[in-house]
Amino acid sequence: MIIFLLPIVLFCIFMSIRTLFIPNTIKGKLVSVENFFYLCTVYLTVIIGFGLIFLILELMGMTVLAEANKEHQYNIFETSFYFSAMMLFSVGNGDVIPQGIGRIIAAMEALIGYTLPAAFVAKVMVERKK
């Protein structure tokens, strides 16, 4: 049952990132409250989406995340979303370690995290020249 959520989550992530490449989405000033909230919404969608992917895989019984501190029992819900945010904004800080397929998913999220600001700035500059 949980496996059916993965395509929905992937679709939501894709649609959120896709909005950066659609013309005429952002209009107006170079720096504006609307542009800031737009970027925050895209980031939040990606964090929640990848967090749900990690969570769904863990709930299916796959080990995709492990805490570096083996003595501490972690909460799977908190750790999934925390790790997702750490991978999107940086490359993590070493307290949660991806394992197995989680490494590939984490690498994809890190790549998105590095390209989102550049795509956003390019989009604002293109819209400004129109």
- Burial 83-97, CB ≥16 within 10 A → b, else e: bbbbbbeeebeeebe
- Domains of the chain: which residue ranges? 29-120
Q: Model confidence over 90-128: pLDDT tens digits?
A: 877 788 889 999 999 999 999 988 888 888 888 777 766
Global pTM reads 0.78
Beta bridge partners, 97, equal: 66
For 29-120, CATH gives 1.10.287.70
Q: Supply φ then ψ for residue 60, to 5 degrees.
A: -80, -5
Contact 67, 98 (CB under 8 A): no
Average pLDDT, the chain: 81
Percent of the chain scored above 70 by pLDDT?
84
Asked if residue 39 has pLDDT above 80, the reply is yes
